[in-house]
């Protein structure tokens, strides 16, 4: 009975139940829209360009926030990982930064940067910086000392050592950090767009809330989920390419 073993079964059943309860009026539309309504709304929003337009704006925020956060995280991680002075300089600051919940900084960011794009991008950047930093730093420090010795015995200079041994050795950790950063970025996007947005997915959600359009809210939830999935997919592709040497992947 493969039908009952299928992992699709329970989500589909839930969906049908939801649809049925909506049709019989047991779930009013202002509480939760029926799946069929959600699909129709989705189609309308895509056709009118409302969804693509706002999605693109949100995507831009995540991308710029990530670009800044990942770049700073990588820079700080390299600095702290590759030199003792760098570590003494950077690590204490990063550890202090870690103790402050990024969301709690939102009021300060609004005072500093206003309510435009900057505080949103800054929040995402600030939140994604740490996982990248920490994982890269630990990855560099965790590189097998024996491999470093072997490379030195073959006369590699410091630069060659970093390029051929230390960075490739730290790459798996960096990718873990990156994966975490991407997840955090989407969470921060949701939070940042609740602050005050005149466009973007969060704006759509806020607007829909005011008009009790649960169908639009559900559409946006779906888009958030899809964003998360595609981010995961992206990282998987990067990992498969960059870490092709790992035996698990080699054998697969």
Partner 1 sequence: MTVTLAFPRAAHGKPLVSLRGFTRRFGDNVILDNLDLDIAPGEIVALLGHSGSGKTTLLRTLANLDNIDGQDVTIPGARAVVFQDARLLPWKRVWKNVVLGLKGRGLRAKAEEALAEVGLSHRIDAWPLTLSGGEAQRTALARALVRQPELLLLDEPFAALDALTRLKMHALVLKLWRVHRPAILLVTHDVDEAMALADRVLVLAKGHIVAEERIEAERGQRTATVRDLRARLLGHLGVDAHASSYADLVAGPPVSYAEAAE
Sign, Cα dihedral of 172, 176, 75, 145: negative
Question: Counting contacts by CB under 8 A, is residue 149 touching partner 1?
Answer: yes
Region for 119 from its dihedrals, namely left if φ exceeds 0, alpha if ψ lies in -120 to 50, beta otherwise: alpha
> Taking CB under 8 A as the rule, does residue 244 contact partner 1?
yes
Give me the least distance between CB of 140 and partner 1, in Å please.
14
Nearer to partner 1, 178 or 231 (CB): 178
Residue 194 or 240: the one with the smaller Cβ distance to partner 1 is 240
Closest distance to partner 1 from the beta carbon of 70 (Å): 21
Nearer to partner 1, 149 or 210 (CB): 149
For partner 1, which is the closer residue by CB, 60 or 169? 169
Least CB distance to partner 1 at residue 131 (A)? 22
* 3 state DSSP class of 8: coil
Site for partner 1 in 118-147 (CB under 8 A): 146-147
- Residue 30 as a binder of partner 1 (CB under 8 A): the answer is no
Binding pattern for the stretch 162-181 against partner 1, x by CB under 8 A and - elsewhere:
--xx--xx-x----------
Cα maximum dimension of the chain: 77
Nearer to partner 1, 94 or 148 (CB): 148
Q: Does 152 bind partner 1 (CB under 8 A)?
A: yes
**Three-state SS for 34?**
coil
DSSP assignment of 149-196, as one string?
HHHHHTT--HHHHIIIIIHHHHHHHHHHHHHHHHHHHHHHHHHHHHHS
Q: How far apart are CA 23 and CA 167, in angstroms?
A: 58
Cα angle 46, 50, 51; round to 5: 55
43-72 positions binding partner 1, by CB under 8 A: none
Angle at 145 between CA 142 and CA 151, to 5 degrees: 125
Minimum distance, C-beta of residue 77 to partner 1, in the bound complex (Å): 18
Binding site for partner 1 (CB under 8 A): 146-147, 149-156, 160, 164-165, 168-169, 171, 243-247, 250-251
């Amino acid at each position: 009975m493969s039908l009952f073993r299928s992992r699709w079964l329970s989500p589909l059943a839930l969906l049908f139940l939801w649809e049925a309860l909506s049709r019989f009026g047991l779930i009013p539309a202002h509480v939760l829209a029926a799946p069929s309504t959600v699909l129709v709304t989705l189609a309308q929003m895509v056709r009118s360009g409302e969804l693509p337009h706002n999605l693109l704006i949100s995507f831009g925020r995540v991308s710029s926030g990530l670009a800044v956060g990942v770049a700073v995280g990588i820079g700080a991680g390299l600095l702290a990982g590759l030199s003792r002075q760098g570590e003494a300089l950077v690590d204490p600051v990063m550890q202090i930064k870690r103790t402050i919940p990024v969301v709690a900084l939102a009021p300060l960011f609004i005072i500093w940067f206003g309510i435009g794009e900057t505080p949103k991008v800054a929040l995402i950047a600030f939140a994604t910086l740490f996982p990248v930093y920490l994982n890269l730093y630990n990855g560099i420090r965790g590189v097998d000392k024996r491999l470093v010795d072997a490379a030195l015995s073959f006369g590699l200079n410091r630069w060659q050592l970093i390029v051929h041994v230390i960075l490739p050795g730290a790459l798996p950790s960096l990718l873990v950090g990156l994966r975490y950063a991407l997840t955090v970025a989407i969470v921060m996007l949701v939070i940042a767009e609740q602050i005050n947005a005149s466009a973007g997915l969060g704006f759509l959600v806020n607007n829909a809330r005011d008009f009790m359009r649960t169908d639009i809210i559900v559409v946006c939830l779906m888009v958030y989920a899809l964003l998360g999935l595609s981010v995961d997919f992206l990282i998987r592709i990067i990992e498969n390419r960059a870490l092709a040497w790992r035996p698990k992947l080699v054998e697969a």
